[in-house]
Amino acid sequence: MYKIAFLPGDGIGIEVGNSAMKVAKVVAEHFNVELIINEKLIGGCSYDEFGSPLTDETLQACYDADAVFLGAVGGIKWESLPHNLKPEAALLKLRKALGLYANIRPAKIYQPLIDSSTLRKEVLQDVDFIVLRELTGGIYFGEPRAYDDDKGFNTMIYKKNEVERIAKIAFTLARERNRKVVSVDKANVLEVSQFWRNIVIQVHQEFQDIELTHMYVDNAAMQIVRNPKQFDVILTSNLFGDILSDIAGMITGSLGMLPSASLGSKYALYEPVHGSAPDIAGKNLANPLASISSIAMMFNYSFQMKKASELIEAAINKTLSQGYRTKDIFNEGDKLVSTTEMTEIVIKNFLEVFHEQGLGVFTL
């Protein structure tokens, strides 16, 4: 039995969150696992209901769960609230409270989408890398921070143990992959980045089988678009990782394709990389695949159900190879479908790949 804290949030978070839960239920049922889904408010909708974007009740539901799924938070309606009441503050507080310092954002090209990107096919073929973003430190959390009529400031700060633990994760992940880590920083300008680089080099002493290189963040942004195949694991700080992972999103054709896992020593949260997309919210247009793929990561990392995770990914691939596309990845000749239709087709394909593999009575 596994407990999921389900926080759909705002905008398309609700639509793609529902898709994710539908898939999770079907997958669990077929693997003979009981899922208990505990739905709670977070973000703007929580502010509207309780005057706070993150309540103790929601936080407690996350502490009590085996895994958290979050849709997205934010929207125009809440943009002028004070910083601590903004929907986004809830997400940051949640990440910090759960100690989710390691954010894994895989950028992998789904073969059927190779012609849908704004980038050329030859550039994209075989691209498969991870942006490993430090998630509970850096400028997102540094003090002091404030603004008034004359000035605004934030503090980019990293402590030794924060860099050490994320660097260890990077090298460990690389060991299971192609054994290459590029640490991305701005050491030519920022002291905090020089410190980051020094610590990464120190940690690397214990991982001599892994190739370590360093790259400035401006160059890295360019290299991801120029030649993404060169990357295996990109290790970077909170702010740089936020920006680089959206760039990496375009490799997959759309932000709506990019999943993520945020892990700490005790808790785990899964969410699509994209936001609440106010421009398409409530129209059944959103691409649910980033969320469904985040569910695949949940089954893999939190429930240790690798087979289930692989079959979800196989179902996504099959759906795409059949030509089904939401609007964000649609090209002439494709079959245009809504969020809910895409979800139903992925579920149908999951059932097919499940039975094709002769897993009719799969028990863990």
Ligand X SMILES: CC(C)[C@H](C(=O)O)[C@@H](O)C(=O)O
Give residues 176-235 in contact with ligand X (rule: CB under 6 A). Answer: none
3-state class of 160 per DSSP?
helix
Interface with ligand NAD includes 328 (CB under 6 A)?
yes
186 is catalytic: yes
- Neighbour-count burial of 34, counting CB atoms closer than 10 A to its CB (0-12 exposed, 13-18 middle, 19+ buried): exposed
- Which helix (H) or strand (E) segment holds residue 211: the answer is strand 211-216
Least Cβ distance, residue 9 to ligand NAD (angstroms): 6
- Residue 325 annotated as binding? no
- Is 242 a known active-site residue? yes
Q: Which helix (H) or strand (E) holds 364?
A: none
Annotated catalytic residue, options 48, 218, 306, 348: 218
In the complex, the smallest distance separating the C-beta of residue 229 from ligand X, rounded to whole angstroms, is 24
From the list 246, 301, 327, 334, the catalytic residue is: 246
CA distance 62 to 268: 9
Name the percent of the chain in helix, strand, coil, to the closest 5.
50, 15, 35
* Binding track over 40-59 against ligand NAD, x by CB under 6 A: --------------------
Nearest Cα residue to 25 out of 313, 355, 312: 312
Query: Which of these is catalytic: 86, 108, 186, 318?
Result: 186
- Which entry of 232, 242, 267, 318 is annotated as an active-site residue? 242
Which residue number, 242 or 328, has a Cβ lying nearer to Mg ion? 242
Q: Which two structure tokens, joined as six digits, stand for 82?
A: 């004070």
- Phi, psi (5° rounding) for residue 235? -100, 125
Select from 195-203, 271-279, 293-301, 309-317 the region that touches ligand NAD (CB under 6 A). 271-279
Q: Which of residues 196-255 bind ligand NAD (CB under 6 A)?
A: 255
Dihedral angle sign, alpha carbons of residues 100, 274, 276, 306: negative
Is residue 97 within 8 Å of 56, Cβ to Cβ? no
Which residues contribute to the site for Mg ion (CB under 5 A)? Answer: 242
Specify binding-site residues: 95, 105, 133, 218, 242, 246, 275-287
Which residues contribute to the site for ligand NAD (CB under 6 A)? Answer: 12, 16, 72-75, 88, 91, 255-256, 271, 274-280, 286-287, 290, 328
As annotated, the active-site residues are 140, 186, 218, 242, 246
